[in-house]
Amino acid sequence: MTVGVLFVCTGNICRSPMAVGVLRTVVQRAGIAHAFEIDSAGIYHGHAGQPPSLLAVEVAARRGYDISDLRSRPLMPEDLARFDWQLAMDRTHLVAMRSMAPGDVADRPQMFLKFAPDLGVRDVVDPYGGTTEDYERALDLIEAGCAGLLKHLRETLEGMAAGTGPVPAPR
């Protein structure tokens, strides 16, 4: 059994691809990549099929995350039924995800930065159109969120292995 993690942002060309790159890398380094399906999507369909923004690729690569193979795709209701963990980069994404989700899973989408409460922020601000520093700040938040998420996902996997079932997503 795999644990599905879906990151959602606006156009799926900055924040959510960077989050995919970070989480894929950290679970690979932890030796548990086989246990995950990690993907991303956007609530805006205008970038469908496009690669991540050049600055997102460059900033991620400088920190060891290769996101150059990713392509933007729109968020679909099926995604919200399929993925165990549906993580919004900001509150507007959370609202869109919950309104799009099938009724039985409408409460499943969560704020990504719930996993980094010590940061004191809820949203990963969109760096699109900004400076390299804006992308660096976004990636700082994403790395912190992925560290907290990995800790929680490890607990989930341990619970599954012990037969106590998956640890539910925080509400």
What CATH number is attached to the domain comprising 122? Answer: 3.40.50.2300
- Write the pLDDT tens digit of every residue in 53-63: 999 999 999 99
Q: Would 86 be classed as within a structural domain?
A: yes
Q: Would 168 be classed as within a structural domain?
A: no
Contacts of residue 35, Cβ cutoff 8 Å, sequence gap at least 6: 1, 2, 3, 27, 157
Distance CA(88)–CA(30), nearest Å, equals 24
Residue 15 known to be catalytic: yes
- Write the pLDDT tens digit of every residue in 140-160: 999 999 999 999 988 877 776
Q: Would 171 be classed as within a structural domain?
A: no
Distance CA(18)–CA(4), nearest Å, equals 17
Backbone phi, psi, residue 91, to 5°: -65, -30
- How buried is 164 (Cβ within 10 angstroms: 0-12 exposed, 13-18 middle, 19+ buried)? exposed
- Active-site annotation holder among 15, 24, 79, 146: 15
- Write the pLDDT tens digit of every residue in 61-95: 999 999 999 999 999 999 999 999 999 999 999 99
Q: Would 169 be classed as within a structural domain?
A: no
Which residues partner with 87 through β-bridges?
7, 110
Q: Would 100 be classed as within a structural domain?
A: yes
Distance CA(145)–CA(139), nearest Å, equals 10
- How buried is 151 (Cβ within 10 angstroms: 0-12 exposed, 13-18 middle, 19+ buried)? exposed
Residue of 95, 117, 111, 123 lying closest to 169 (CA atoms): 111
Residue 9 known to be catalytic: yes
Burial 98-128 (b: 16+ CB within 10 A, else e): bebbeeebeebbbbbbbbbeeeeeebbebbb
Q: Would 26 be classed as within a structural domain?
A: yes
What is the percent of the chain with per-residue pLDDT over 70, rounded to a whole number? 94
What is this structure's pTM? 0.92
Q: For the chain, how many structural domains are there in total?
A: 1
pLDDT reported for residue 162: 73
- Active-site annotation holder among 39, 79, 84, 126: 126
Residue 126 known to be catalytic: yes
Q: Would 122 be classed as within a structural domain?
A: yes
Q: What is the DSSP letter of 30?
A: T
